[in-house]
Amino acid sequence: MRDSDRLEAFLRTGLAAGHPPEELAAALRAAGWSEGQIKAGLAEWHVEPGLPPVPRAGSGRAAGLALLDGLGFLALVALCWQLVQLGFQLAEHATPGLSSDWPLATQMGWPIAVLVVMTPVFAVLHLRRDASGWLRRWLAAASGFMAGTALLGSAVAVVHALLSGDLTARFALKAAVVVVVSLLALLVYRRELDAGMARADVGARGLIGLALAMVVAGIWVSGGPAAGRAERRDQQRWADLDAIALQAMCLVKEGVAVPPVIATETCPDLPNLADRQTGMPYRIALVRPGILRVCAEMESEAMASRSSLAGPGCRDVALLDESRTGPGLMPPDGGILAPDHALGVIPRP
């Protein structure tokens, strides 16, 4: 028999025998039932003197509570996932080592957006007073299983990193993020997992506080909306430099001297040669024979650092190796004898 059926049978029998609801609630409380379960069970009955307990018409209310419980579990999963993602990115920023080439505002924008939307939803759904029911108990078991799995996986990863010599400060910080989020997720449903424990909202309040702290840290580290707009403009500048590099290679293959970068019948696609925001022309120059350098003034430090050995905001383009072509030996375009590596772009690291 389900707990809800046992509770309903007890309350029906007790109320029919004339026991006041307060007396029945005290007995249930002493037996380990939670306040939410007791209130929800008593709310199903209407007591009139001289009449047996009358069941309330509450099927719609039960369905509504089940819907809220399901949405609350979805909010919990989304919150925990994005907390881990944002925590990993903050850990990479706070510790030395190689980081992703993606700019911070681009990396952190999505986790911050999810947390800003889902945190108040999570708070409303998990701090409500009528949080009880059979579905919530099943969701408690599911969340406990996932949180326990994450904790075990983190322990295995830490031991493996320790044995292999890869236990760096960054790795330890990321593992700590997983452990903290998993423990808080486990405590969200601790009332359902252990009916004898009080104050079931400790885990929920902890996750809400952690989410707010990480959102503030993420906005501070990434620079907020202004930094995001600057990074998008810098991404457009990098795209222009890529287009200039392709056009230069096309011109050299045709036999046209570069610079300047122009449009011809064979290479008709003339890229933007000036910054679309400021109107300043991009810097295009031969730094040594066969190497063309194209540069732009970047706004964000993160995007400016995405460069090769050419320097911030610059990239080098390897043109045709003139030492491999001699008069009468090879046509200007290299022909079928052109080596595969004679033409290419030096990639950014």
Domain map (residue ranges) of the chain: 3-55, 59-222, 226-345
- In the DSSP assignment, the letter for residue 281 is B
Give the predicted TM-score (pTM) of the model: 0.60
What gap in Å lies between CA 138 and CA 49, rounded to an integer? 37
- H helix or E strand, kind and range, residue 291: strand 291-295
pLDDT of 308 strictly over 80: no
Q: Secondary structure of the chain: what % helix, strand, coil (to 5)?
A: 60, 5, 35
**pLDDT, average across residues 345-349:** 41
- In the DSSP assignment, the letter for residue 48 is -
pLDDT of 3 strictly over 80: no
pLDDT at 135: 74
Q: Encoding tokens for residue 210?
A: 């952690």
Query: For 150-160, what is each residue's pLDDT tens digit?
Result: 999 999 999 99
pLDDT at 57: 64
Question: Could you write out the DSSP letters of every residue in 132-149?
Answer: -SHHHHHHHHHHHHHHHH
**pLDDT, average across residues 335-341:** 38
pLDDT of 344 strictly over 50: no
2: how many CB neighbours lie within 10 A of its CB?
9
**Maximum average pLDDT range among 100-109, 135-144, 174-183:** 174-183
pLDDT above 70: percentage of residues in the chain: 77
Q: Which of 38-52, 219-233, 294-308, 317-331 has the lowest mean pLDDT?
A: 317-331
Q: What's CA 213's distance to the chain center, in Å? A: 15
